[in-house]
Amino acid sequence: MTTQNLLIELFVEELPPKALQKLGDAFSSVLFEQLKAQGLTATNSAVTAYASPRRLAAHITAVSALAADKAVQQKLMPVTVGLDASGNATPALLKKLQALGAGPEAVAQLKRAPDGKAEALFYDSIVKGASLADGLQKALNEAIAKLPIPKVMSYQLETDCELPGWSSVHFVRPAHSLVALHGSTVVSVKALGLTAGNSTQGHRFEARVSPVVLANADVYADTLAKDGAVIASFTERRAEIARQLEAAAAKVGGGVKAIEDAALLDEVTALVERPNVLVCEFEQQFLDVPQECLILTMKANQKYFPLLDAAGKLTNKFLVVSNITPDDASAVIGGNERVVRPRLADAKFFFDQDRKKTLASRVDGLAKVVYHNKLGTQGERTERVRAIAKGVAALLPQAKDATFVQAVDTAAQLAKTDLLTDMVGEFPELQGIMGGYYARHDGLSPDVAQAIEDHYKPRFAGDELPRNTVGVVVALADKLETLVGMFGIGNLPTGDKDPFALRRHALGVVRMLSEAHLDVGLDALIAQAIPAFGDKITDPAAALASFIYDRLSGGLREQGYSAQEVEAVLALRPQRLSDVAKRLTAVRAFAALPESPALAAANKRIGNVLKKAGEVDAHVNTALFKEDAEQALYAVMQKLLPESEAQFNAGDYTASLQTLAALRSPVDAFFDDVMVNAEEMDLRLNRQGLLKSLHLAMNRVADLSCLAA
């Protein structure tokens, strides 16, 4: 059967820029899958998605005009229902066949086949293949219905009938035209009140012709580029913007580069149809304002790309991605420079005003800001963070350093005060960052200023940790306050809903304990945080610890550790998370040993024996030994276990486990020759005690039974 390529395009008003790429991908993928499901595509068919500010389109190769007929077997009903005692069709069967377009003569063609416990009647028929017009109509309806639309609009279309009136349409934006081309033939389909044709619109201002007529499905992108001044492909447009940004920065010279921001690049790609990057600048005086403020206002409000020098410092030049390409761009450049100036002036004004008050003078104001109706104000929260930070500091070796303890308390007390500043009120993304700037202006120590600036870190996966120990302590206290408080009032994440970012906070705690190498136990850390809440919460220690270990488990698997390795280590709930990586390395090395499978299986068996025995004392009386195998195992244990324990205490977990590998033969012999649950009670308890001693030694680093097949 011959095939041709298919093009579908919906031309609409400007689509939501942050959702454009997702809309384009969804539109094309659902179209393709629906056509494939109806047998209208070939095995080598491929789909290409197009998405620009005013269009969603898909190009699909090797699409048939008519799907092949296919044989279908349909279950009708049990034989006992469809046929009477004489084997004649019942009224129920005849009615069912009639509904399928078959007459009484079809009864003789029915097949019997087992269906569970009973025998059923099956009807074989040939279903005529769908035409492209019908199949595409169904696919188009499905693609539109399944679009991940952020917010649906309702608008009216004039009805196409003799009587005047309007019909309501619901879509992400008003749609103006529909293209459906199979090769060069228009496919008769409708959508959103539109009938398909072969023409679309190009650039609002720079299209060479209007409308843009498409000769066939394969010239879509080229014709739009040539006659419509539009780069239809989101990917190609994004690459072109990136290329122009790099070229424009190189033209400025001095080693400057446009700021790297993938989200901003995606958003700008969704705002322009034919990009034209221009260089603009602002007055040098604005560089006195913290560069984070200027960068944020240019990116968030104007969608500009600030230029940074080789040292990463902001320059007074920035790049604009224009949607027009005039011969003289001076008016466009001048307009953008005029637009950004008031934004930068506002930032400078906020910065100057904020510095007129110290952070310390803002502490009392936190009592007027509600944090949570069950957990009080930001002022109360600050006092809890202070108490938790003191508790964390007390667990560290630096606890004897009064200067360190005071720095922790000062940073914890002032960390949230920048929430009351004008700058953070305008740009909430700058909380913490502005606190650091204002702390330096107030003459506070570098450690305190850095801690205030860093106490939200790590904000996301891959973010850096606080730069000093004071910052780590305050950041830990801040995250623990959120976790303990929310768990304590039962405000837990559900599904994909996590409004207080508790998963991210838990991962932050894990990373700080692991990567900052704090010699602090997780349970102790949680326990010292709970009293800060008084009677506002119920004890969440057990649930919170499990939640944190779950986050740790998921993170380790993402790093490439197997589920068995992670389960083996975390089954012991190691308190020092900084040890987990070493334990995993040791487990992986042990699992590679030839003795590993047998010892893991034996360890699992020992665990089961001890579990059934209940409370078992690890005491062993050598005078009660009767079998050579138990004497031999004990002798090897006396030699190897002290060596393994010394290696464990020295932190050499790999050597500790590998030393135990020599136990394989005596352990195998023990289980072959010794009856653990002997009838004599003293023998049974002694042998259980021997196994208990062995079990404790084998599972110091990890629960080796988790490695058993």
pLDDT in tens, 517-573: 888 999 999 999 999 999 999 999 999 999 999 999 999 999 999 999 999 999 999
> In terms of Cα–Cα distance, which of 69, 124, 128, 123 is closest to 96?
123
State the Cα–Cα distance between residues 461 and 507, nearest whole angstrom.
Answer: 8
Full 3-state SS string of 100-165: CCCCHHHHHHCEEEEECCEEEEEEEEEECCCEHHHHHHHHHHHHHHCCCCCCCEEEEEECCCCCCC
Q: Pairing between strand 153-158 and 175-182?
A: unpaired
Burial label for 320, CB within 10 Å (0-12, 13-18, 19+), is buried
Place of tokens 């080693």: 255
Q: What is the pLDDT of residue 163?
A: 47
State the Cα–Cα distance between residues 104 and 6, nearest whole angstrom.
Answer: 43
**Which residues are CB-neighbours of 665 under 8 A, at least 6 positions away?**
none
The parts of the chain modelled with pLDDT lower than 70 are 1, 158-166, 709
State the Cα–Cα distance between residues 528 and 524, nearest whole angstrom.
Answer: 6
State the Cα–Cα distance between residues 457 and 466, nearest whole angstrom.
Answer: 6
The percentage of residues in the chain with a pLDDT greater than 70, rounded to a whole number, is 98
Place of tokens 């730069």: 467
**Which residues are CB-neighbours of 421 under 8 A, at least 6 positions away?**
350, 354, 362, 434, 438
Tokens representing residue 386 in the block: 């202070």
- For residues 275 and 237, is the Cβ–Cβ distance under 8 A? yes
**Which residues are CB-neighbours of 630 under 8 A, at least 6 positions away?**
670, 674, 687, 690
State the Cα–Cα distance between residues 362 and 689, nearest whole angstrom.
Answer: 63
Cα distance between the two ends of the chain: 52
State the Cα–Cα distance between residues 516 and 600, nearest whole angstrom.
Answer: 33
State the Cα–Cα distance between residues 634 and 622, nearest whole angstrom.
Answer: 8
- Alpha helices per DSSP H over 578-652: 580-591, 596-613, 628-649
Full 3-state SS string of 59-93: EEEEEECECCCEEEEEEEEEHHHHECCCCCECHHH
Burial label for 657, CB within 10 Å (0-12, 13-18, 19+), is buried
Helix, strand, coil content of the chain in percent (nearest 5): 55, 15, 30
Polymer length in residues for the chain: 709
- For residues 53 and 237, is the Cβ–Cβ distance under 8 A? no
Question: Does the predicted TM-score (pTM) go above 0.85?
Answer: no
User: What count of other Cβ atoms lies within 10 Å of the Cβ of residue 270?
Assistant: 23
- Alpha helices per DSSP H over 364-466: 378-394, 402-414, 422-426, 433-441, 446-454
Tokens representing residue 421 in the block: 């500043």
Place of tokens 């629960």: 703
State the Cα–Cα distance between residues 27 and 148, nearest whole angstrom.
Answer: 9
- For residues 27 and 143, is the Cβ–Cβ distance under 8 A? yes
Place of tokens 């740790």: 552
> In terms of Cα–Cα distance, which of 544, 540, 556, 535 is closest to 375?
535
3 state SS of 194: strand
Model confidence pLDDT, tens digit, residues 392-408: 999 999 999 999 999 99
3 state SS of 192: coil
- Whether omega for the bond prior to residue 446 falls within 30 degrees of 0, making it cis, is no
Tokens representing residue 312 in the block: 């990463």
Query: Quick one: which H or E segment has residue 486?
Result: helix 469-488
Chain-centroid distance of CA 501 in Å reads 12
Query: Quick one: which H or E segment has residue 603?
Result: helix 596-613
- What distances in angstroms separate CA 379 from CA 362, 384, 412, 426, 665, one per listed residue? 10, 9, 11, 21, 64
- For residues 510 and 552, is the Cβ–Cβ distance under 8 A? yes
